[in-house]
Amino acid sequence: MNDTSPALVEALDSALRTATERVRPDFLLLSGGLDSSLLAAMWKRAGHRFQAVTVGLDPSIRCSREHTSLPYPCNSDIAWAEKVAGALDLDWTPEILTEQEALQSLDWLILQQRSFDLGQLNNIPLIAGLKSTKAFDGTRFATGDDGDGLFGGYRFLPNQGDWPTYVRERVPHIDPPARAIGMAVGWEPCFPYLEPEVLDIARSCTWDDLSQVRSLTDYPLPPSFMDQFDPQAMQATNRAWGKVLLRKVAERWLPREIAWRPKTDLQFGSGMCALESLLALRVGADVRLSLNASGIHWFNDAHRALYLRLLALGGTVPEPMSGEYACRSCGGGIPVGKRHCATCGCWPADESPETAGSPVNPL
C-alpha cells in the first residue's frame, strides 16, 4: 500500500487554510461529506461566523428497493451533517423538503438551466438550500465543489492514465452548477477548492497520491455510495479509496468517521434519488415509444419525464452557439473542451454512440 507523503499533506493543509482565510462566506451548503465538512472545520477554528444548512428529502418518501436494501443507505446527509455540526458546534439548520417542495425546486432548475439532465436531482439541495437562507443576513455562499474532481473522488477517475495531464486540461473548464444557480437567486458563490493555491496542489499530484487500498477491517464502509452496486468490490477484503490526500488533511480537523465518509453524490445523500420512481410514473407506454423515436438516448423513464417537463414548462433544447458543438444525443450546445452535455446529461457527448459506450452519465 502506498503511503501519502506527509509533506504533500502539509502542503494541501496550508493551501486550504490560505484559501479559507481569503474566502469567507456567510452561508455554507453543508452535506456532511468530507469536502464541505473540512471547510466548515477550518472556518470554525479560525473564528469565522457562518450559517450552515443541509437539505434532505422527507424520509417518509421511500426510495427504490434497490437503494433501501443497501448497507450504506441513501438520504443520510442530514444525519451526517448533524454529526459534523455537533462536533464543531456549528450554527446549523436542517431543511427537510416535502415531495411538492422538491419537485417545485426541480421545475425551477429544469427551466432556469434549460436541462433535463438527471443530474438536476443533484442540484435540488443547492437551490432549496439557497432559497431557505432568505431569513439570514449575507450575500456570499460556499460549497465543497470541486474537491471530488480535483482530488480523485469519482469512480470513473481511476481510468485517467495520466492524472497531472487530466487535471491541467480539466481546470480551465471547471464551472460548478452552484455558480449559475446561486447567481440566479442573488447569491455570490465561492469555491475554496478552486482557489489558486489549492489548484496548484491538485496539479502536482499523481494518482498514487490520491488513491490507496484500505483494509475492510479498518474501513468497513464502501469508498462511495455507488460502490455498493459492484458485487466484486463489496465482497473484497480490501477496497480502493479515493481522495486519500484530502482525507489525510481532514483527519487533522475532523472526527475520523467524517474524514473517511464514503463519496456520496448529493442526489443520493439528500434522498432526491427517491424522486426518480415518482417521475417515471408520468411516462406511459405510448409516450415512451414516441420519445424513443426522437433520436435522444434515454437513461430511464425518469429521464424521459424530465424532458417532457422541460417542454411543458415552455423550455427548449438550446442550439449550439459560437464556440460550442452539438451534443450527439439531444443536439444541445456544449462548450468546446467539455464532454458532458448539461442539457441532457449525455457523456461523452462528443463521441458517436458506437464508440462511446453508455450514452448517459448516471452520476
Q: Give per-residue pLDDT as tens, 82-139.
A: 999 999 999 999 999 999 999 999 999 999 999 999 999 999 999 999 998 877 788 9
Flag whether pLDDT at 359 surpasses 80: no
Among 211-215, 299-303, 314-318, 349-353, name the one with the lowest average pLDDT: 349-353
**pLDDT at residue 362 in the model:** 36
Among 47-61, 180-194, 225-239, name the one with the lowest average pLDDT: 225-239
The pLDDT-based confidence of 354 (bands split at 50, 70, 90) is very low
The pLDDT-based confidence of 357 (bands split at 50, 70, 90) is very low
The residue-averaged pLDDT of 192-199 equals 98
**pLDDT at residue 255 in the model:** 97
**Residue 192 in grid coordinates:** 475554496
Q: Give per-residue pLDDT as tens, 268-311.
A: 999 999 999 999 999 999 999 999 999 999 999 999 999 999 99
DSSP calls for 328-354: TTT--EEETT--S-TTT-BSSTTS-HH
- On average, the pLDDT of the chain sits at 92
CA atoms within 13 A on the CB side of 266: 25
Residues whose CB falls within 8 Å of the CB of residue 143, separated by 6 or more in sequence, listed in order: 28, 29, 36, 126, 176, 178, 189, 191
DSSP 8-class letter at 298: P
Flag whether pLDDT at 172 surpasses 70: yes
**pLDDT at residue 200 in the model:** 96
Q: CA-CA distance, 167 to 268, in Å (whole number)?
A: 26
Q: Answer positive or negative: Cα dihedral of 261, 266, 268, 269.
A: positive
Helix axes 34-45, 6-22, angle to 10 degrees: 70
What pTM value is reported for the model? 0.92
Alpha helix stretches (DSSP H) within the chain: 6-22, 34-45, 65-68, 77-88, 99-113, 120-131, 147-151, 163-170, 177-184, 196-204, 207-210, 231-235, 244-250, 256-259, 266-269, 275-280, 285-292, 301-312, 353-356
DSSP 8-class letter at 6: H
Q: How far is CA 105 from the centre of its chain?
A: 17
**What is the percentage of the chain residues whose pLDDT exceeds 70?**
94
Higher pLDDT, 166 or 116: 116
| Residue appearing with cell numbers 444541445 | 332
The pLDDT-based confidence of 6 (bands split at 50, 70, 90) is very high
**pLDDT at residue 248 in the model:** 97
- What domains appear along the chain, each with residue ranges and CATH number? 6-273 (3.40.50.620), 281-356 (no CATH)
Q: What is the largest CA-CA distance in the chain?
A: 61
The CA angle 138-95-139, to the nearest 5 degrees, is 10
Region of residue 40 (left: phi > 0; alpha: psi -120 to 50; beta: else)? alpha
DSSP 8-class letter at 261: P
CB 301 within 8 A of CB 292: no
Flag whether pLDDT at 64 surpasses 90: no
**pLDDT at residue 122 in the model:** 96
Flag whether pLDDT at 326 surpasses 90: yes
CA-based nearest residue to 263, from 152, 126, 131, 133: 152
Report the SS3 class of residue 289: helix
**pLDDT at residue 138 in the model:** 86
**pLDDT at residue 282 in the model:** 96
